[in-house]
Structures are given as C-alpha cells and as structure tokens.
Amino acid sequence: MMDEEDRFALIVLAIMAFYFAPSLVQETGYRTANPIANGFFLLYFYIREYSLVLIPVLFFAGALTSFISKEELTKQLSGGREDFGAYMWALWAGFLLSIYSYTIIPLFAGLRKKGTKLGPAMTFLYMASSVNVLSIVFAGVVLGWDIALAVALFAALSAYLIGFFMNDLYDDEKTRYKGLFQYLDDRKQRKGFKELDTLPPHDSQGLMILLLTLAAMIFVAAMDSDWMLKAGAFILLALLVFYQVRSGFTKKEIVYWVNETYIFFMEIIPMLLVAIFIAGMFASAVKDNSLADYVKGNNVFSSLVAALLGISFYFPTLIEVPLAKILLDLGMDRGAVIAFLLAAYVLSPPTMLFLKRIIGAEKTRSYTVMVILCCTLSGIAYGIITGVIRLY
C-alpha cells in the first residue's frame, strides 16, 4: 500500500513529466480518434497551460482556510437574524468556506442548530455548493473571465432569491435541527504534515497584502505573454510572498498554511487529473456538434437541459471546469454553460439525502425546484445580456 508521501511524490513527478515533455499537441488541437490518446493529449494540454496557475490558487485557498475564522463568519448568522445583513453574511461565508465539498452539509447543519433562520441558511447552502475561490479562478483561466464572473454573480443572486423565497414560504419557527451529521466532521481530522490546533485570526492588513500578492501571481500565471517575462514576474512575486510570510507570520501560522495547501493538493489534484483524462476520452468518443440539437441557442430548453446535465454529474470541485470546456467545444451555448456550472454538485445525491434529514422532504423538494429554475433562468439571462452587448 503506497503511503501518502509516496503518492505526493508520484503526483508531482507525473505533473513535471507532462509539463517538461516535448510538444505533443499540434496547432490544430488536441482531439484525436483514439480515446486513450485523446485523454493523454488533453491531460498534457491542461498541465502545460494551467498548472502554473494552480500553484498560487492552492496557496490562496489555503490562506483563506487557515487565517479567516470560520467561527466569526458563522457567528454572524446565528441567533435568528433574517435581515439583509444576514443574507450578505451567508453569501460571504458560503463563498469562503466551501472549498471542501464534504464540509458544506455539516456547516449548514451547524448553522441550523445555532438558530440560523431558514432563509440565510439556504442562501449559505446554495452559495457554498455552487461556487468557491478555486472553481471561479480555474473557470476564469480555462473558460474565460466573462463566464467565471457571470457564474459568481448569478450564484450570489440565485442564493439570495432561494433563501428569501424559502424563508417566505415556510413557517421557520416550527423547524427543528436534526442531528446525525456530527460524524461528517471527523473528515476534518484528515492527514496533513501534522495535527494542528485552530489558529487565532491573523492581522487583517497583513493577510490582505498576502492575498493581493497571491492574486497578482494568479494574474501573471494566466497571462498570454512571453514565457521569460511571465517567469520573471512570477518568481519576483513568489519572492515577495516569501518575504511577507517570513516577516509577518509566525512559524505556527506558516506550518498551518502549508498544511492546508498540501491537503488541498492531495484531495483535489489527483481527482482533477483523472477527470481531465476521462473528459479527453469523452471528447474523442462524441462527434462534433452532437449536442447542438439539445443545447444550441439561448432558450429555455437548452438552459434546462444543461442544468439537468450539471445536476446529474457528481464530482468534486474543479472537475466541472474541464467538463464545461469539453461541452463548449461540442457545441453547447455559453448561456447553457452558465446553467451547467451553477447546477453542478448543488443537487448531488448525498446533499439531497442529508438535506432531507435536516429540513424535511417538502422543503427539500422546494429547494430542488428553485435551484433548477434559478440555474435555467441564469443561463437565459446571460445569453440575453451578452447578446445585447454584442449588438453594441
């Protein structure tokens, strides 16, 4: 049985082998008639194009997880608040605390147990399920920043509307938290470099400067420019991060941050690589424009099909992005891609099972209908907005 250190070394070596291999992908694209070869070609293409971006992205996510207090965010939602501020806190908390997909339901259950009203809790649930920092940045680099920003904005709007209408439809005072979810929190005791205690919140100014520097690294890595210029700027920013960390963070904070980043790498990257390989095989097996009859154009049917397609997939974070890229190449409308990305993972079977235990079957059915409706309308709205922009 391979231990974790050996798996880490194997993954890094595999990525480096693909990254530094001679050019294998012709200018005409990476699609071939052989599914296996196409899977390797797509894997090669993604590693060469996007692996540099994922380095600062993972450290950015690790910093958010390490230095932003989950307790402080969730405390703002407890105590039965249902004003506009509660919904805004729910959106913010959902965006920042959702990088691990398996923590969403325990967090939601914990909010309900602490007295959070149904509306803000459902807003948190949808926002946390639909977007996070990693997925938005990766979608921006792979699919375009117009799609990434649209997903983030429509997710926030949909989360607010779902929470508002759920709170309005049901008498929340009769709702009671139901247990049985504490065991999911055991996943938090996952392997890393070492067992670590919870850190106190870090100085906000120092943290903001660090996050801005990491964001600049992401921007530089995503630039389409001369590789020498890109490498030089990337190295300079990396040295700046090193200086900021050494001068402004304690040894315990640094170890905690590296630990969280390492965990992200081990839990996300292997599955992402496998999913990219499978997506390449899928792209080879499906004929060009074979999906066009179902998802072409900006209409209710194409967005609905895309939303249902997103719901039918159950995959960890980031994997929806290469799938969306393949679907775009196969003829899916960009508005339908928005619907697909918004629906991905939100109504997965585990989520629905646990949600039914927490809020009941009737509320779960209402939530399902609202999610499908919001995803479909978001795809149509994006198509209309971009269509008007193109006219001018």
Q: What is the pLDDT confidence band of residue 122, given thresholds at 50, 70 and 90?
A: very high
Task: Copy the structure tokens of residue 250.
Answer: 């304690």
Q: Tell me, what's the pLDDT at 355?
A: 84
Q: Tell me, what's the pLDDT at 27?
A: 44
Per the model's pLDDT, the better-predicted residue between 297 and 290 turns out to be 297
Q: Tell me, what's the pLDDT at 253?
A: 87
Q: Which of 74-88, 319-333, 354-368 has the highest mean pLDDT?
A: 354-368
Instruction: Check whether 335 has a pLDDT greater than 60.
Output: yes
Q: Which residues contact 46 (CB under 8 A, 6 or more apart)?
A: 276, 322
Q: Which of 98-112, 233-247, 296-310 has the lowest mean pLDDT?
A: 98-112
Per the model's pLDDT, the better-predicted residue between 286 and 34 turns out to be 34
The Cβ of residue 290 has, within 10 Å, a number of other Cβ atoms equal to 11
Q: Tell me, what's the pLDDT at 369?
A: 93
Q: Tell me, what's the pLDDT at 372?
A: 93
Cα separation, 353 vs 96, in Å, equals 24
**Amino acid symbol at 330:** L
Length of the chain: 392
Q: Which has the closest alpha carbon to 245: 284, 209, 198, 201?
A: 209
Cα separation, 319 vs 325, in Å, equals 10
**Amino acid symbol at 65:** T
Residue found under tokens 């479909």: 376
Q: Strand, coil or helix: what is 264?
A: helix
pTM of the model: 0.75
Structure confidence by residue, pLDDT tens digits, 69-99: 666 666 667 655 666 778 888 888 888 776 6
Q: Tell me, what's the pLDDT at 291?
A: 61
Cα separation, 300 vs 335, in Å, equals 10
Each domain of the chain, given as residue ranges in start order, spans 41-202+249-391
Say if residue 148 is exposed, middle or buried (CB neighbours under 10 Å; 0-12, 13-18, 19+). Answer: buried
Instruction: Check whether 332 has a pLDDT greater than 60.
Output: yes
Structure confidence by residue, pLDDT tens digits, 124-183: 999 988 888 888 888 898 888 999 999 999 999 999 999 999 988 885 544 443 333 333
For the chain, what is the mean pLDDT? 78
What's the start-to-end Cα distance of the chain, in Å? 60
Task: Copy the structure tokens of residue 339.
Answer: 């619907």
Q: What is the pLDDT confidence band of residue 196, given thresholds at 50, 70 and 90?
A: very low
Per the model's pLDDT, the better-predicted residue between 190 and 315 turns out to be 315
Structure confidence by residue, pLDDT tens digits, 242-296: 999 988 888 888 888 998 889 888 877 888 888 788 877 877 766 555 565 677 7
Find residue 29's DSSP bridge partners. 26
Per the model's pLDDT, the better-predicted residue between 382 and 102 turns out to be 382
Largest CA distance in the chain: 64
Identify whether the C-beta of residue 10 lies closer than 8 Å to the C-beta of residue 2: yes
